[in-house]
Structure 1
Amino acid sequence: MNSMPYIDQKGRVYKYGEFFPPELSPFAYNETIAQEYFPLTKEQAQEQGYSWKDPEPRNYEIQIKNNQIPDHIKDVGD
């Protein structure tokens, strides 16, 4: 396996038994717990070869107001 190492886009060599290169990760850097322990900006993460996923906008509409919520479970309809 040392005769055919994986070479990433920046020319870094990964041989058999080493950690996978970041570009093969199924998760973006900011989606993992690594972001909590080793925080990086989007630019820093991308420079180091990690992918980054921007959060999707959440435009939720309020379906029921808080004063319309029943006080007891028996008051809830189907």
Structure 2
Amino acid sequence: MNAEAAIPVESPRPRWRRRIAILARRSSLIAWIETVVALVLAGTIIASYLIVSSHAAEEAMVTPLLGATL
């Protein structure tokens, strides 16, 4: 066997869908925890952006309590 590289296979599904399918098949606890943490991080970033951008549209400063919460 003297293959230079693996032959690329074009798949109709994007890479992230294939990874989710692999995670579902393996069903390991650590992988699920990592997925949940990534989703929580994305949700936190989106919520923070929406809160700050709503205050920026009003040209009002963020209150100290809201700033500490963020």
Would the TM-score normalized by the shorter structure come out above 0.5? Answer: no
Give the TM-score normalised by structure 1: 0.24
With a CA cutoff of 8 Å and minimum separation of 6, indicate the structure with the bigger relative contact order: 1
Structure with the bigger percentage of helix: 2
TM score, norm. by length of structure 2: 0.25
- The structure whose residues are more often strand, as a share, is 1
* Bigger Rg, structure 1 or 2: 1
